[in-house]
Amino acid sequence: MFTIRFIVPALASFAAALGLLPASASAQGLDLAAAKVVDLTHPIDASTIFWPTEVKAFELTEEHKGITERGFFYAANRFCTPEHGGTHVDAPYHFSQTGESVAEVPVDRLIGRAVVIDIADKAAADPDFTLKPEDVSAWEAAHGAISRGTIVLLRTGWSSRWPDKRAYLGDDTPGDASHLHFPSYGAEAARLLVDRGAIVLGVDTASVDNGPSKDFLVHRILGAANVVGLENLTGLDRLPPTGAWVMALPIKLAHGSGAPARAVALLP
């Protein structure tokens, strides 16, 4: 973590006026001048994990690297990547024909107060574990009710397995997603959180549905409610259960069902 040094406190209200940060941010104690930043994002490179059925992975092509005819250094690359790999956003359109695409999701629904529900112990005992309504209730009994406009992050501990594909996905058979094992949200818990008014459900595994899922009910619940999914996070162990603000900003990809995102947390 590092301290933001050159941001005056007035930036919070300025950002709110621009719609980049909810107006309540400064009122709820987010002092940007004193905030610490945690990067929740895996880098994208040749080792990035994508969904097993993807035919192609990340490609970076060097177009220029070196000294130009005028004597200065210049570098430029071209990259190609599937939408759904590495730390990325799932737009509602991913599993809803009428859902918003990446470019249509309002930016104020990608920035908000965050809560972290930690199921790492349960996931260690059962790699297919899914968050259940009683887990949410237990978390709320300890930390308070989850309010509308919240970004919910599920910590399973799986990010420590990155980028070992077999350990992270439970299977590394190319082109086959039928034998995956990793924890995530359960459908009833996801529905409860959507009813609570969550704007994003994020997780440090490859999917908001757990590995064995075949019907992808959590994706479908989020899509129907125009709620964003945020997958393949890291660093959730560095966040408190409450108090952080999270920004998960994807490439503004027109008609995209998903896009790579830079996700960061701001800690008061």
The string of DSSP codes covering 215-264 is S-HHHHHHHHTT-EEEESB--GGGS-SSSEEEEEEE---TT-SEEEEEEE
- Range in 26-40, 101-115, 127-141 with the lowest mean pLDDT: 26-40
30 touches 37 (CB < 8 A): no
pLDDT band of 224, cuts 50, 70, 90: very high
How many residues are recorded in the chain? 268
Residues 28 and 189: their CA atoms lie apart, in Å, by 27
Q: In Å, what is the CA distance from 138 to each residue of 125, 141, 146, 188, 267?
A: 19, 5, 12, 15, 24
Q: What pLDDT, on a 0 to 100 scale, did the predictor assign at position 30?
A: 72
What pLDDT was estimated at residue 31? 79
For 195-209, the pLDDT digits (tens) are 999 999 999 999 999
Give the single-character DSSP code of 178: S
pLDDT tens digits, 37-77: 999 999 999 999 999 999 899 999 999 999 999 999 999 99
Distances (CA, A) of 18 to 15, 196, 245: 5, 26, 17
**Region for 175 from its dihedrals, namely left if φ exceeds 0, alpha if ψ lies in -120 to 50, beta otherwise:** left
- Under 8 Å between Cβ of 250 and 259: yes
Q: Residue 79, class by beta-carbon neighbours within 10 Å (0-12 exposed, 13-18 middle, 19+ buried)?
A: exposed
User: In the predicted model, is pLDDT for residue 162 greater than 50?
Assistant: yes
**Closest listed residue to residue 99, CA positions, set 221, 249, 197:** 221
Q: Is the dihedral of CA 37, 42, 110, 19 positive or negative?
A: positive
Q: Look at 262 and 35; give whichever has higher pLDDT.
A: 262
pTM of the model: 0.88
How confident is the model at residue 28, as a pLDDT? 54
Lowest mean pLDDT among 8-12, 68-72, 163-167, 259-263: 8-12
pLDDT the model gives residue 225: 98
Catalytic residues: 94
Residue 33's pLDDT band, with cuts at 50, 70 and 90, is confident
HSE-CB for 113 with a 13 A CA cutoff = 21
Is CATH 3.50.30.50 correct for 35-48+84-267? yes
Eight-state DSSP code of residue 98: T
Instruction: Please list the residues that pair with 239 across neighbouring strands.
Output: none
How high is the mean pLDDT of the chain? 91
Place of tokens 């990155």: 162
Tell me the pLDDT band of 7, cut-offs 50, 70 and 90.
very low
Close Cβ partners of 18 (under 8 Å, ≥ 6 residues apart): none
Q: What's the mean pLDDT in 116-122?
A: 98
Domain ranges (residues) in the chain = 35-48+84-267
Burial per residue of 59-75, b for 16 or more beta-carbon CB atoms within 10 angstroms, e otherwise: eeeeeeeeeeeeeeeee
Determine the 3-state secondary structure of 137 from DSSP: helix
